[in-house]
């Protein structure tokens, strides 16, 4: 029943929906595909359909229902008139898909794209499909390719360049073998959007978000349109919690306190040793010394020893012990 509905109410290859034609991806990886649409479909339902022909196409995910499943996710940026589909855990079965838009009582519109899943090195690839640049600065994006031949740089819905061109002041460098380096200078907020590298009939899309660069002396709140960033990237960013952000300055503060307390204890210990040595020195004086007499009262205790009868002596022997008392 679903296939009959599709064959009657769908217009494939419509110019109202545009997307990438063919992408080379590695098995087990993920890929995000941008789909642009005409402004009159801004409030219409968008969806991803799987299958070579429309008559056998099946819905995988839609914008009017759960936008994320185990394998698929979909997001939409209505201001840019783009919806993005992300396909995870790619296998050889992930080949033909459709970016489609419901057209109410008229024929749905859509555009098909092909995924070439390989266990080896992809024909065309980038390190990250989502990059961030700062207003007024420049950013370099590297596209790696497997075979020889020219590579172009394009903006979704715009033109392509193979050398330094007028796409956001892009400069292309091919000095490194099998790598095309695209440097975009003087970034503006309007520079945000989807771009892609092109080699023959293969493309690799890259999303650029341009924002204000954080300052080290002030706190700047940056608002990023997450609706246009694939779910997988949002999860990676969400792993950075506020507690992790505070961990480093808190550790530094604790270290400073420990060092300060250690220094204080050492100084107090040294002072006690000095006082002890000073006190002990006062008792080294004999009672006959002038200064010592000012601080010490001496008391004489006399002991008498009986005469030694064995020797016939009868005189007394006197022993004295002097005890000093500190005043």
Residue 134: which CATH number? 2.60.40.10
Residue among 158, 164, 236 at smallest CA distance from 191 = 158
Q: Are strands 108-118 and 10-12 parallel, antiparallel or unpaired?
A: parallel
Strand partners, 50: 58, 97
The DSSP code for 214 is P
Residue 17: which residues within 8 A CB-CB, separation 6 or more?
35, 36, 37, 38, 99, 100, 101, 109, 110, 111
Q: Same structural domain for residues 24 and 114? A: yes
- The predicted model scores a pTM of 0.62
Residue pair 304/316 in contact by the 8 Å Cβ criterion: yes
- pLDDT by residue (tens digit) across 229-241? 555 544 544 555 5
Q: Which of 213, 247, 263 finishes a domain?
A: 213
One domain for residues 128 and 103: no
Mean pLDDT of the chain: 77
Q: State whether 76 and 92 are in the same domain.
A: yes
Domain final residue, candidates 120, 138, 156: 120
Residues 113-154: pLDDT tens digits? 999 999 999 999 999 999 999 999 999 999 999 887 788 898
The three-class DSSP label of residue 16 is coil
Say yes or no: 184 and 163 in one domain: yes
* Domain coverage including residue 70: 15-120
Q: Which of 101, 120, 139 is the last residue of a domain?
A: 120
Please check the confidence at residue 216 and state whether its pLDDT lies above 50.
yes
Q: How far apart (Å, rounded) are the C-alpha atoms in residues 155 and 207? A: 10
Domain membership flag for residue 92: yes
């Amino acid at each position: 029943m679903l296939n009959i509905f599709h064959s009657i109410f769908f217009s494939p290859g419509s110019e109202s929906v545009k997307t990438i034609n063919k992408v080379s991806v590695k098995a087990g990886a993920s890929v995000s595909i941008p789909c642009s649409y005409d402004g009159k479909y801004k409030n219409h339902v968008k969806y991803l359909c799987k299958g070579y022909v429309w008559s056998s196409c099946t819905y995988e995910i839609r914008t009017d229902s759960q936008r994320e499943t185990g394998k698929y996710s979909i997001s939409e940026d209505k201001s840019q008139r783009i919806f993005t589909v992300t396909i995870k855990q790619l296998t050889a079965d992930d080949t033909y898909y459709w970016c489609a838009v419901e057209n109410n009582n008229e024929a749905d519109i859509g555009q098909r794209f092909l995924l070439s899943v390989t266990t080896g090195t992809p024909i065309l690839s980038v390190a990250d499909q989502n990059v961030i640049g700062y207003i007024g600065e420049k950013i370099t994006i590297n596209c790696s390719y497997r075979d020889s031949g020219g590579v172009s740089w394009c903006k979704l819905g715009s033109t392509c360049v193979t050398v330094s061109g007028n796409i956001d002041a892009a400069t292309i460098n091919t000095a490194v073998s099998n790598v095309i380096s695209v440097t975009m200078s003087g970034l503006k907020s309007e520079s945000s959007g989807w771009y892609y590298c092109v080699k023959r009939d293969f493309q690799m899309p890259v999303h650029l978000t341009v924002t204000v660069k954080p300052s080290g002396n002030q706190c700047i709140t940056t608002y990023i349109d997450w609706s246009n960033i694939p779910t997988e990237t949002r999860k990676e960013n969400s792993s950075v919690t506020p507690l992790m952000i505070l961990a480093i300055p808190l550790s530094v503060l604790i270290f400073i306190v420990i060092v300060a307390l250690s220094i204080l204890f050492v100084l107090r210990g040294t002072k006690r040793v000095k006082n002890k040595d000073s006190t002990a020195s006062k008792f080294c004086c004999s009672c006959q010394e002038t200064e010592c007499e000012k601080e010490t009262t001496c008391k004489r205790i006399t002991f008498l020893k009986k005469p030694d009868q064995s020797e016939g002596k009868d005189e007394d022997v006197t022993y004295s012990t002097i005890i000093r008392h500190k005043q």
